[in-house]
Amino acid sequence: MITAAEMRRKYIGFFKRHGHAEIKSASLIPENDPTCLFNTAGMQPLVPYLQGAKHPAGRRLTDCQKCVRTGDIDDVGDAVHLTFFEMLGNWSLGDYFREEAIRFSFEFLTSPSELNIPVDMLAVTVFGGDEEAPSDEEAFRIWNSLGIPAERIAKLGRKDNFWGPVGETGPCGTDTEMFYWTGPKPAPQKFDPADKRWVEIWNDVFMQFNRRQDGTYEELAQKNVDTGMGLERITAVLQGKASCYDTEIFGGIFAELDKIRGVAPGAERSASERIIADHLRAATFIIGDGVIPGRIGAPYVLRRLIRRAIREGRKLGVEGLFTARIAQVVIDQYGEFYPELRANAPTILAELEREEKQFAATLDHGMKEFQKLVDRVPAFVEHKVISGKNAFNLYETYGFPIELTVEMAKEQNFSVDLAGYEEAAKKHQEMSRANNEQKFKGGLADHSEQTARLHSATHLLQAALRKVLGTHVEQRGSNITSERLRFDFCHPEKVSPEELAEVERLVNEAIDRDLEITCTEMALEDAKKTGAMAIFSEKYFDRVKVYRMGDVSCEICGGPHASRTGELGHFRILKEESSSRGIRRIKAVLEPKK
């Protein structure tokens, strides 16, 4: 029986033997992309390369990418949904296209030395065509020639067989999806895509278009292949398990939870157990990528995950601290493949414990308070509602994320006045920017010129900070919109107004010198020898780009950047504040030159 770890090894090994370079998973937190809180697909960190930038590792890549999807967070607990998952992928950046991609997929699935799946357990879908694009006859023909009978190839529409873009704009294309029969054998001769016993296991996207802001498509100059295979799902399916929660992937976590509760292993895991396992596995990885719980953005999602898990723990009778114990199991299980988990283990455990203590202190009071609100409403009232003001009070005073209140309300047939909640929240300055949900839906940022300029300014800012404050200053995060840059760095105390003025002056001086911004590609080892700044916690490819701005700045970085510092305009710091313990945050803008 193949385990997830073996599956990962096998997949990557197969594609390496076919000329693909293995690249490491990017962080769960997109770099320089303000519109997405988390990486949701294997292709997301590769977007610049899918759009034509040269990838230092070559044109054929393979990886196992960490992903987080929070859109269906409320579905977690059922048998299939996961917040965190791993996605295996193979990539062609302007190298092979349809024919070879499908052949690779077929060989990996069916070859006796690979997954050895009998062909009669497989079915596929291809794009059936619509008014915008013709049906994918070529994909049909290739599958058929490999031995997939015509009645096992379904032609479906755009909804099923067109993938991407991740946001509103970016690379996308028609795809072909592979399905595995999980019902009683033999599988039906004719493939019925509506039959849920056919489970999708792999998706090959033929990335041919770029979707523009106005909704039109342009052909990409470089045609790519993007494939994605969810590791947890393929593992469950091949093990004949109805749910990934029944595989060894979650076995260790459940065993630890049993120990914490002092119970014998249950035959079937309850929704509470699955939510705890899913959310704390996700939280472990998210903290491992440098996020700590907070009030907005990714930190808020993290908080939600942890607090929901804690409440589910209470439902199971867990009273003491337990989240760090679960996290330790996750770190042990994944630490070899994802070394960042081991490296950041102390932070992961400490942050979970801190968050848990903080929430546990108010949780019981909050639940009592909540129950009082519920009890106050007579049973005969038809539409029972928790007012916005009360929901906000539960958040402010007891730390209940609104989503948790909604969930608790639902359990007792109440709804929550969300509009009223929003109104109450808006009055609170801090909360006014919490339009997090919007962000999930947002698109990938345009790598517009202004973004590139702000990105270059970030390098100058880091150099200036190191000059003024000392070389202990290092980047801990960066986020750029087309309006402003935000830069997090380690520094133990507030930066004084005088120091900020000096930093600003140094950046503007570098701009005034109109330094050329050069980019050199080199081996990572050589880059390190040049003394180029690298980002803590960032994992690099073996070949990297080094951006140099005269004698002022030299950093390993993926770009993009302006071509001269003179293009940047006037640099102005808007704000300096604390981001978290030991981390300061600067927001700054570039203005037209006076």
* Interacting residues with ligand SER (CB under 6 A): 41-43, 89, 163, 203, 205, 226-228
Other Cβ atoms less than 10 A from the Cβ of 591: the count is: 10
Q: How far is the CB of 557 from ligand SER (least distance, A)?
A: 25
Q: How far is the CB of 39 from ligand SER (least distance, A)?
A: 11
Q: How far is the CB of 131 from ligand SER (least distance, A)?
A: 24
Strand 485-490's sheet: what is its strand order? 475-480, 485-490, 583-591, 570-580
The 3-state DSSP class for residue 29 equals coil
- Name the phi and psi angles at 190, rounded to 5: -95, 135
> Any bridge partners for residue 21, and if so which?
61
Q: How far is the CB of 202 from ligand SER (least distance, A)?
A: 8
Q: How far is the CB of 282 from ligand SER (least distance, A)?
A: 18
Instruction: Indicate the residue among 47 and 386 with the shorter CB distance to ligand SER.
Output: 47
Q: Which residue is nearest to ligand SER (CB)?
A: 228
DSSP codes joined into one string, 67-101: EE--TTGGGBTBSS--SEEEEEEEEEESS--HHHH
CB neighbour list of residue 487: distance below 8 Å, 6 or more residues apart: 458, 461, 462, 475, 477, 478, 585, 586, 587, 588
Instruction: Indicate the residue among 45 and 89 with the shorter CB distance to ligand SER.
Output: 89
Q: How far is the CB of 90 from ligand SER (least distance, A)?
A: 9
Q: How far is the CB of 8 from ligand SER (least distance, A)?
A: 15
Instruction: Tell me how long the chain is.
Output: 594
Instruction: Indicate the residue among 163 and 398 with the shorter CB distance to ligand SER.
Output: 163
> Any bridge partners for residue 533, and if so which?
555
Instruction: Indicate the residue among 171 and 366 with the shorter CB distance to ligand SER.
Output: 171
Q: How far is the CB of 199 from ligand SER (least distance, A)?
A: 14
H or E segment to which residue 220 belongs: strand 217-230
Instruction: Indicate the residue among 166 and 532 with the shorter CB distance to ligand SER.
Output: 166
Between the CA of residue 112 and those of 34, 115, 300, what are the distances in Å? Answer: 45, 7, 46
The reply to whether omega before 186 is within 30° of 0 (cis) is: yes
Instruction: Indicate the residue among 176 and 344 with the shorter CB distance to ligand SER.
Output: 176
CB neighbour list of residue 46: distance below 8 Å, 6 or more residues apart: 55, 61, 91, 226
The 3-state DSSP class for residue 167 equals coil
Instruction: Indicate the residue among 47 and 532 with the shorter CB distance to ligand SER.
Output: 47
Instruction: Indicate the residue among 163 and 254 with the shorter CB distance to ligand SER.
Output: 163
* Alpha-helix residue ranges (DSSP H) falling in 289-387: 297-315, 323-334, 339-343, 345-376
CB contact at 8 A, 468 and 502: yes
Q: How far is the CB of 83 from ligand SER (least distance, A)?
A: 16
Q: How far is the CB of 43 from ligand SER (least distance, A)?
A: 4
Instruction: Indicate the residue among 227 and 553 with the shorter CB distance to ligand SER.
Output: 227
Strands 583-591 and 570-580: antiparallel
Using alpha carbons, select from 534, 557, 480 the residue that is nearest to residue 36. Answer: 480
Which single residue is written with the structure tokens 């770029």? 210
Instruction: Indicate the residue among 205 and 425 with the shorter CB distance to ligand SER.
Output: 205
